[in-house]
Structure 1
């Protein structure tokens, strides 16, 4: 049974060393030669075209799906019923953008001190439990809970 859907977006960790942006907003950065860095690997060396290693950014999203653990709610053929709103059933349709939000010299301090996880000299950190208490008030009145029978915009 599912307790949730979790997705991790790993951003590139190699920079060309020259451009802060590019017309396509991505060719100035690249993944290491062995692929994206993960929890147990740094992805290996950077390609020669992007020789500068930069800090890893990862965006993680978890949706609580326990209210749908009852298999009677699932399709009759037993297939998993979860579909992203754009129609993706694979989970590969995720997207994330990094918006710079470091205050003052905090990012440079983190980079200078090889800041990883909870080991961060010079910066204040918080526990996952504290971070999970963060919430943003609703700004749009819409029904966001429950089950839909068809994707919006599709034929009946």
Structure 2
């Protein structure tokens, strides 16, 4: 996997991101990740819907938990939008967290097996084999409408900017 030019830090220290970095306006690369039931799920399974991909390093951190709670809350208000929550956490950890928190409006997907999402969207942290934090919005036409690589991984994404784009696509 090639290094990309996205500059991010983790607790103030620079990290290296691997993978391609698609641009706004490009067709969203299809990817496969595992569902909570260990079944392969593809982005193309959500064809014809607006898709929000919430990317985070690990569900077992406070910022990642807050990010998932927020997108779950927003998903309840966004009719016809699929909110896909992607990390390299095992599906069991994702399921446990969602069950404990009562999060049922997001779809958790694990990229742990192949790093297919991370490699195709440029979110793989080389030093940690985790995904960087960010958000990708994909329109019904399967074009990327918004992409954020959060500059400091320990901070939350720009929810307002992402949600503004998503709401305009509904």
How high is the TM-score relative to the length of structure 2? 0.25
Higher relative contact order (CA 8 A, sep 6+): 2
**Bigger CA radius of gyration:** 1
TM-score by length of 1: 0.27
Q: Which has the higher strand share?
A: 2
Q: Which has the higher helix share?
A: 2
